[in-house]
Structure 1
Amino acid sequence: MKLSKILTIVFCSLLMHFAADAQDHLYSQFFNSPVYLNPALNGQFEGDLRMNLIYRNQWTSVPGSLNYLTASVDYNIPRFGGGLGLLFTRSSEGTAYLKKNNIAGIYSYSVGSDNFVLSFGLQAGITNRSIDYGNLIFGDQIDPRLGYMPGSGSSADLPQFNNRYYFDSGAGINLVAGNFMIGGALQHINRPNESFTGSPARLPMRVTGHLSYRWDLDVYSNTDEDDHSYVIPSVVIYKQSQAQSVNAGLEYKRRSVSAGLWYRSGGQSGPSAIVVSLTFDLNISREGGEKVRFGLSHDAPSSKLNYGNTSGTTEGSLSYQTTLPNRAYIDRRFDGAKRCYDFY
């Protein structure tokens, strides 16, 4: 049997195992997908309207694609003390095209003073999960001498369903105090049943915790803060069922350019990785709060799966934010406090 066919079959088996464990995908550029990281970060930006897009192509040379995309739109409403947002997430995994699409609405609310800002977020949406069994290869389709026989049928018993919808919910909290930011989120609070077989298969809750510090390297400079240099170390911890991952590292930020170096532990869920990231900000109109951000990162596996077998993982992100021309209300409640966007 050709090596590529063997790899495909093995990878399908691994994929079905991972699907049974129901682990969410994680982004290396968590700072460029803040609403996916924590719904409490919804509406937390300078301006009125923000749009984010991030795409992840994981282990590009492994048979069976692993592609993930998240898009979000959030609207800052100072008069209501919070924001409204819409989040769309899509994943496609493996040769059987195990797909998951989720669309969710988010509401966030903030309280605080000149010294701190405390934000809360609620998320609720609908998820569709589907799989194409026609692309799977079973044992009775493999000839001992010739290998896989295209077009051959299988007598394997297929699961009862190949398509499922369910309600999903999440919540988050975030605190910015001085140069520290700490937050946490819970996803899949209602633990929806995503089984294809008819037997219950509850999606485990995903717990996220994150901590960042903003170190001003030019604290005694008389220049504008936007012209300062910063080092921003961060730690993000994910836990879902038995899977746990820690992403730790730092960004060096100078004006409109940020460079990051990160280490992500895979735990029992997968290989560890070294991550390099670059982010570029283009201020179209500083007074109008109009800005475009582009981010790029690459993961190099550091254990279990080597780089030569996987070609690593690449992410790209794009963000746009602006202030609407008819803005009638300006939020002055937290003028002296830093916000989460100061860290990202």
Structure 2
Amino acid sequence: MRKLGDYLLIGLFVTACTFQLVAQDIHFSHLNRQPIYQNPANTGLFAGDIRLTGNYKDQWRSVTVPFQTFAMAGELKWKQKGINFGAILFHDNVGDGFYQTLEFLGSVAKNLKLTSDSTQTLSAGIQIGLNYRKVNMDKFYFDNQFNGLIFDASLPTNEAYQNDSRANLTSSAGLVHCYYYGKGNSLKTGISGHNLNRPNQGFYGVKVPRDIRISFFSQLDHAINKELAVIPGIGFNLQGKYRELLIGSQVRYTLINKLGTYRAVDGGLWFRSKDAVVVRLGLAMQNWSVAASYDTNISKLIPASTARGGLEISVEYIITRFKPKKVIHRICPDYI
């Protein structure tokens, strides 16, 4: 009987966590690996012409129905005008009620030079998108379905929800300051506001505005020598009563970087306050980079999770268009 009570308490705790999480925006453990979701001003802040990114996150599989997030994004630069464009599509599925979020966001950012040598720049970005949410109410159990002896799924729930889906528009804006120094060193710091129009996400007759999310990040990429670099960072999200602090660092080791060949590996440790310790590994080859991490849970959910959190994978691919120079009376092209 005591064991049954323990399971019931764990179940109630998990349910409470589920409802708390669906009231928050999606979050990733890889700082700046889904840049335009983190801050619309990140749009176009990379070396190259086109950037494609993909993310997958799986968490709480050891506790209940796994929470799964898929995201993919693309960015394109208009270098002549200093304007960058981006778009992101993500899908999130959480909990026993298969609470789903499908969101498409389009962003545009303008990059301004603060110094004549471009060592300092300021990017301002805005983002507008469509958010669609749906929940399967048939997957939930309600007290009205208890007939006094047993649970009877055929009984009506008598719940007053008007629909099981909702679509609305959402808007965001942000700023990112970049400082470039030395050879390949940089410091990027940004702040952004999301859900600025506070769209209604309620399924009942009562309006439930989506809380504004304030996001801050700062990340340093500093080379110690030709092979070794440290990449510490910090991210902070504030949304309603929810607070998230992510802090840690990667260490990158360059295996080869010459004659058009680039190979590097990295590893690091991150800490999300009152929630998880994150171990992250990465590999970069030419224009590709892949990162994988695992969250080890350290919160009050340990009795149910047995410290197991979730897997996260991110992929990035950058395309650089080669533009040959127009030089008269020369036979060989630029790449020879």
| TM-score in terms of structure 2 length | 0.83
CA displacement 1:78-125 (0-9 Å, x = unmatched): 112021111112111111111111101110110113221111111001
Equivalences for 1:96-175 in 2 at 5 Å?
96-112=97-113, 113=115, 114=117, 115-142=119-146, 151-175=153-177
Long gaps (5+) in structure 1: 219-226, 267-271, 284-290, 329-344
Q: Please tell me the residue identity of whatever aligns with 1:94.
A: G
Name the Cα RMSD after superposition: 2.5
1:322 Cα deviation from its structure 2 partner: 0.9
Pick from 192, 200, 205 the counterpart of residue 193 of structure 1: 200
Higher relative contact order (CA 8 A, sep 6+): 1
**Matches of 2:324 and 2:302 in 1, distance apart?**
52
1:310 Cα deviation from its structure 2 partner: 5.6
Q: How many residues align?
A: 305
Partner of residue 237, structure 2: 238
**Matches of 1:242 and 1:13 in 2, distance apart?**
14
Q: Is the 8 A contact 2:295 2:309 kept in 1?
A: yes
Q: Does 1:322 align with 2:319?
A: yes
Q: Is the 8 A contact 1:160 1:196 kept in 2?
A: yes
Pick from 245, 248, 271 the counterpart of residue 263 of structure 1: 271
1:244 Cα deviation from its structure 2 partner: 0.6
Partner of residue 330, structure 2: none
Q: What SS is found at the alignment partner of 1:214?
A: strand
Long gaps (5+) in structure 2: 255-263, 326-336
**Matches of 1:251 and 1:324 in 2, distance apart?**
29
Q: Is the 8 A contact 2:298 2:307 kept in 1?
A: no
Pick from 273, 290, 293 the counterpart of residue 294 of structure 1: 290
1:311 Cα deviation from its structure 2 partner: 2.2
Partner of residue 302, structure 2: 306
**Matches of 1:31 and 1:14 in 2, distance apart?**
26
Partner of residue 37, structure 1: 38
Q: Please tell me the residue identity of whatever aligns with 2:244.
A: S
Q: What SS is found at the alignment partner of 1:80?
A: coil
Q: Is the 8 A contact 2:145 2:157 kept in 1?
A: no
Partner of residue 212, structure 1: 219
Q: What SS is found at the alignment partner of 2:207?
A: coil
Q: 1:306 to 1:80 in 2, by over 3 A?
A: same
Q: 1:210 to 1:204 in 2, by over 3 A?
A: same
Name the % identity: 24
1:203 Cα deviation from its structure 2 partner: 0.6
Q: Please tell me the residue identity of whatever aligns with 2:94.
A: E
| TM-score in terms of structure 1 length | 0.81
